Amino acid sequence: MVELVMLGSGSKGNSTLIRTERSAILIDAGLSARQLSLRLESVGQNPRSIEAILLTHNHADHICGLRVFNKRNPMLLFANEATLHAASHMLGNQVAAETFKNSRPFTAGDFRVTGFPVPHDAADPVGFILEAEGIRIGYTTDLGHMSRTVERRLAGCAVIVLESNHDRTMLWEGPYPQVTKQRIDSPRGHLSNDHAAGALSRIMGPETVHLVLAHLSQTNNQRRLARSVAENALQQAGSNNIRVSVAMQSRPIDPVRC
Ligand SMILES: [Zn+2]
Ligand SMILES: [Zn+2]
């Protein structure tokens, strides 16, 4: 069995646990080390047993807890070279790191992992495909639009984690400064509910059983709104059997098992 637990996700910090019965890895460590440990323990995972962590990109909401967490619970870090370089000032020199090349599979714990480029304003941001026990998981947050590459990679995964960052009306009518609104809404910013929903019919296949909406803005989105936009799109595409979860910033959501 493969289990995915969104430990916390949103503009204020992101980390996800993915485990089999023998092995556990993290994607990103954008929560404080203390929060990471507490949330792992709350879902029955000893922080010391994490074998590896994969980094999507160098923004603080994905790496800010890594240095301290890794000092307490040493593990292997996987990142591409540009991300590792850009994040080095926040990681210190205690972290054991291995670089991967985008689109070249590597092994982390029980998982065969492939990083692929996503359009976002960071050094060399990636999404991941993770495979174990015949299950394929597609994971991508922090992307300004759905590129062909992203659609092709996510297509037909059993579990798809996809950003559903904001409602565009809430963003543009909301309190953020103009320059921040423009950044978020740009092709290298963050994916809106509508843009995520618009891609669903192209990425959901007969193998797909679960969709997880992630990286929601607490200012410019609501969980029930993101869910209803995605569920409507799935219904229109005839994909009524796909379960939808919506990640939370403040605590882990129920594990996705398959
Ligand atoms: Zn980012
Ligand atoms: Zn982010």
* Cβ within 8 Å of residue 49, ≥6 positions away: 24
In a 13 Å sphere around the CA of 7, the CA atoms on its Cβ side amount to 30
Q: Where are the domains of the chain?
A: 3-251
Percent of the chain with pLDDT over 90: 95
From ligand 1's centre to the CA of 133, what distance in Å? 30
Mean of the per-residue pLDDT values for the chain? 96
Q: Provide mean pLDDT across the span 20-42.
A: 98
Q: What is the pLDDT of residues 35-49, one digit of tens each?
A: 999 999 999 999 999
15 alpha carbon – ligand 1 mean position (Å): 13
Q: What angle, 0 to 180 degrees and rounded to 10, lies between the N-to-C axes of helices 223-236 and 193-203?
A: 30
CA of 86 to the centre of ligand 1 (A): 13
Round to whole Å and give the CA distance between 7 and 165. Answer: 17
Whether pTM exceeds 0.85: yes
> Cα of 143 to ligand 1 centre, how many Å?
8
Contact 208, 230 (CB under 8 A): no
CATH number of 3-251: 3.60.15.10
- What is the torsional sign of CA 12, 253, 65, 123? negative
Q: Could you tell me the distance, in angstroms and rounded to a whole number, from the CA of residue 58 to the centre of ligand 1?
A: 7
Angle at 204 between CA 155 and CA 230, to 5 degrees: 125
Token pair 């985008």 in the structure block, residue: 102
Ligand 1 centroid vs 201 CA: distance in angstroms?
A: 25
How many angstroms does the Cα of residue 241 sit away from the middle of ligand 2?
Answer: 29
Q: Which ligand is nearest the CA of 10, by number? A: 2
- Which ligand does the CA of 61 lie closest to? 2
State the distance from the centre of ligand 1 to the C-alpha of 157, rounded, in angstroms: 23
143-166 confidence digits (pLDDT tens): 999 999 999 999 989 999 999 999
| DSSP secondary structure of 205-246 | -TT--EEEEE---SSS--HHHHHHHHHHHHHHTT-TT-EEEE
Q: In the predicted model, what is the mean pLDDT of residues 123-148? A: 97
Q: Per-residue pLDDT averaged across 74-79, rounded?
A: 95
Quick: pLDDT tens for 90-124.
887 777 899 999 999 999 999 999 999 999 999 99
In angstroms, rounded to a whole number, what is the distance separating the alpha carbons of residues 78 and 21? 21
pLDDT at 89 > cutoff 90: no
pLDDT at position 90, please?
86
Task: Return the pLDDT at 96.
Answer: 86
